[in-house]
C-alpha cells in the first residue's frame, strides 16, 4: 500500500504539463471574426501607393483604405510633424490592405527608395509599412538611423507596442503606440538601451493539459464559425441562402467629450430577390486611446487655425540599405 501511494504521488508529481506561448491563441477568435467581416482586399503595387506627403507636407500617414480612424491619423501626423521639426528625421507610415504575394521586405525597400524618405545627406528616414492581409508590420530604416533605431530595437517596439493590439484588431491603438515609442527613442526621450527591458511576451502563461483541451475546443468552434460564415446568409425576405456581402465600412459615432464609438457596418444584398440589410458590430477602442486621439485632433485643429492652410511637400531624397525589422501576428 505504501509503495502504491508513493507511486501515485510520484506519478502526480511528474504529470506532464504543456508549456506554450499562447497570447495569440486567446485573440485568434477575434481575428477570425474581423477577417470574416472584411471584404475582398485589392493588392497595391509600389507605383500605386499614393504619397500623401506630396499634397500636404503635414501629412505623414498614407492610408488609402481608411484602416485607421481620422483621429489616429491626426495623432500620428502630429507626432511625426513635431519630430521632423525638432530633429529633421522624416517618417512615413503606410497602411495597406494588401500587396498581393509581394514580399513585405522588398516592397518596403522599394517604396522607401522611390519616395526618398529622409534627408539626402543624413539618410535619416524611417518607413513603417502595415499590410493587413499578410498580418505583418515592417520598419525600414535609412542608413543614418541604423545606429539609433537598430534592427533589434525595431523588433522590440513592434512586439511590445504594436503586435499585441494588432492581434485583437485594434489598428489605431497598435499604430499610435508604436509610433509614440519610436518617436520617443528618436527624440532621445527614452534611451535605446533602456527600452523594452521586459519582453512583450513576458506575461504569457503556461497551460496545463486541461487548458490545452479547452483551447482545442475553441479551435473546433472557430472551424465551425468559418464553415458557417462561408455559407451564404439566409435572406429574411425570400428565405433563400443568397445573401452576399457587398460592402464593409468602419464608422465612428460621436459620444461627446471627445469620445467616439467605432462600428463595423456590413451591407448584404440577396442575389435572389435583391433585398438589402445592414449589420453593425462594435469596434470600440479603449477609453484612454479615445482620449489621446481626441486631444490630438484638438491640437491639430488649433495648428490648422494658426497656419491658415496647407502646402504640398516631399521627402528629402534619403536612402536605405534594408535595415529594420518585420513582425507578424
25 within domain boundaries = yes
64 within domain boundaries = yes
129 within domain boundaries = yes
Q: What is the pLDDT of residue 296?
A: 55
39 within domain boundaries = yes
> How far, in Å, CA of 305 to CA of 303, rounded?
5
281 within domain boundaries = no
> How far, in Å, CA of 157 to CA of 183, rounded?
11
Q: What is the pTM of this model?
A: 0.56
Output the domain CATH number for residue 202: 3.10.310.50
306 within domain boundaries = no
How many alpha carbons lie under 13 Å from residue 304 in its C-beta half-sphere? Answer: 10
Q: What is the pLDDT of residue 75?
A: 93
| pLDDT tens digit at each of 329 positions of the chain | 445 444 444 444 444 444 444 454 555 555 555 454 444 457 889 999 999 888 888 899 999 999 999 999 999 999 999 999 999 999 999 999 999 999 999 999 999 999 999 888 888 999 999 999 999 999 999 988 988 899 999 999 999 999 999 999 999 999 999 999 999 999 888 877 777 654 444 444 455 666 677 777 888 888 877 766 666 678 888 888 788 877 777 787 777 776 777 788 888 888 888 888 888 877 654 555 555 555 555 555 544 444 444 555 668 777 787 788 999 99
Element (H, E) at 310: none
286 within domain boundaries = no
77 within domain boundaries = yes
DSSP string, 113-141: HHHT-SBTTT--EEEEEEETTTTEEEEEE
Q: What is the pLDDT of residue 38?
A: 46
Number of domains present in the structure of the chain: 1
Give the domain extent around 183. 19-228
The answer to whether the CB of 192 falls within 8 A of the CB of 198 is no
Q: What is the pLDDT of residue 214?
A: 73
Amino acid at each position: 500500500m505504501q509503495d502504491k501511494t508513493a507511486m501515485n504521488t510520484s506519478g502526480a508529481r511528474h504529470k506532464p504539463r504543456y508549456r506554450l506561448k499562447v497570447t495569440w491563441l486567446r485573440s485568434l477568435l477575434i481575428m477570425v471574426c474581423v477577417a470574416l467581416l472584411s471584404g475582398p482586399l485589392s493588392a497595391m503595387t509600389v507605383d500605386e501607393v499614393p504619397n500623401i506627403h506630396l499634397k500636404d507636407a503635414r501629412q505623414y500617414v498614407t492610408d488609402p483604405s481608411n484602416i485607421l480612424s481620422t483621429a489616429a491619423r491626426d495623432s500620428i501626423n502630429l507626432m511625426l510633424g513635431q519630430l521632423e521639426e525638432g530633429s529633421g528625421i522624416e517618417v512615413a507610415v503606410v497602411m495597406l490592405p494588401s500587396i498581393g504575394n509581394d514580399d513585405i521586405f522588398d516592397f518596403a525597400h522599394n517604396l522607401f527608395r522611390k519616395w526618398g524618405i529622409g534627408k539626402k545627406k543624413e539618410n535619416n528616414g524611417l518607413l513603417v509599412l502595415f499590410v493587413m492581409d499578410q498580418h505583418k508590420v515592417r520598419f525600414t530604416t535609412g542608413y543614418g538611423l541604423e545606429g539609433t533605431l537598430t534592427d533589434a530595437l525595431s523588433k522590440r517596439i513592434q512586439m511590445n507596442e504594436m503586435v499585441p493590439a494588432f492581434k485583437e484588431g485594434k489598428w489605431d491603438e497598435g499604430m499610435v503606440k508604436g509610433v509614440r515609442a519610436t518617436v520617443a527613442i528618436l527624440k532621445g526621450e527614452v534611451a535605446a538601451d533602456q527600452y523594452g527591458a521586459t519582453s512583450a511576451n513576458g506575461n504569457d502563461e503556461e497551460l496545463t493539459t486541461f487548458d490545452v483541451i479547452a483551447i482545442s475546443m475553441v479551435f473546433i468552434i472557430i472551424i465551425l464559425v468559418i464553415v458557417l460564415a462561408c455559407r451564404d446568409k439566409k435572406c429574411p425576405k425570400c428565405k433563400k441562402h443568397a445573401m452576399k456581402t457587398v460592402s464593409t465600412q468602419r464608422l465612428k459615432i460621436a459620444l461627446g467629450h471627445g469620445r467616439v464609438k467605432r462600428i463595423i457596418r456590413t451591407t448584404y444584398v440577396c442575389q435572389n430577390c435583391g433585398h438589402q440589410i445592414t449589420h453593425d458590430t462594435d469596434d470600440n477602442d479603449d477609453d484612454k486611446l479615445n482620449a489621446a486621439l481626441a486631444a490630438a485632433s484638438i491640437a491639430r485643429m488649433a495648428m490648422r487655425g494658426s497656419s491658415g492652410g496647407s502646402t504640398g511637400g516631399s521627402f528629402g531624397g534619403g536612402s536605405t540599405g534594408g535595415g529594420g525589422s518585420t513582425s507578424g501576428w
